[in-house]
Amino acid sequence: MVPISEEVYIYDDIMKIDPKYLPLPTFCFNPCSPFTLGVAKKTEGDWSHFMWMTAPGVFASQSWWFMTKSIDDYRNYTMKFIYNPSWTATQRKAILDSLLLDLAKPKWETRYDVLALLGHLVGLRWLQSKRFEICSDSADHIKHADNRYDLKDPDPSEVNAWMKFHRWSADNPNGYLVLARYFGRD
């Protein structure tokens, strides 16, 4: 399969992403938020949040709990959509089914791991709850399609670095590439 060329999308394009590419790992950053600026600075990366596009304009996202959010909630954000052309329809369905199972859990089971956030901020990565997650913990769903995924309790920048390390090339046809970027309100 020939890789898709990276494109800059406008809002309407995001609503028209072909479902055959879904779910899409998605990174985002809100340049107007002191919180996201702090996360990106602390993690020394460009991204402060990781989530999954599960349908055109719909995301599975860790907020105060793991929930479905609309593209409208991220309209002012910068976003990067990742695609792996080697994932089969069966693997994509396994990831999506796993995400949907997590979304169906009661809110109290998918609460945000505030303790982990504090641990990440002060450099104590072991400081976290084993019951709750931060946004980038949902990258574990990649394991349904890629057994190379081996990150434990990552931040968004670490997931991004892992995907860059496993970038698509002629020598690595099982790699990841950027499907599109979105630069906020248009």
For residue 51, count CB atoms less than 10 angstroms from its CB and return exposed for 0-12, middle for 13-18, buried for 19 or more.
Answer: buried
Instruction: Tell me the per-residue pLDDT of 135-151, one tens digit each, with 9 for 90 and over.
Output: 778 899 999 999 999 99
Q: Is residue 2 domain-resident?
A: no
Tokens of 59: 């995301």
CA 167, 170, 173 angle in degrees (round to 5)?
60
Q: Is residue 49 domain-resident?
A: yes
Q: What is d(CA 86, CA 88) in angstroms, rounded to the nearest whole number?
A: 6
123 vs 156, more confident: 156
Q: What is d(CA 49, CA 47) in angstroms, rounded to the nearest whole number?
A: 6
Q: Is residue 139 domain-resident?
A: yes
* For range 164-170, the mean pLDDT: 93
pLDDT at 2: 38
Give the domain CATH number at 22.
3.90.1720.10
CA 127, 52, 99 angle in degrees (round to 5)?
80
Average pLDDT, the chain: 84
pLDDT at 29: 85
Q: Is residue 135 domain-resident?
A: yes
Instruction: Tell me the per-residue pLDDT of 81-127, one tens digit each, with 9 for 90 and over.
Output: 999 999 999 999 999 999 999 999 998 888 776 656 666 666 766 66
Domains contained in the chain, number: 1
* For range 169-186, the mean pLDDT: 86
Q: Domain limits at 23?
A: 7-183
Q: Is residue 1 domain-resident?
A: no
Q: What is d(CA 118, CA 120) in angstroms, rounded to the nearest whole number?
A: 5
Neighbours of 16 (CB within 10 A): 9
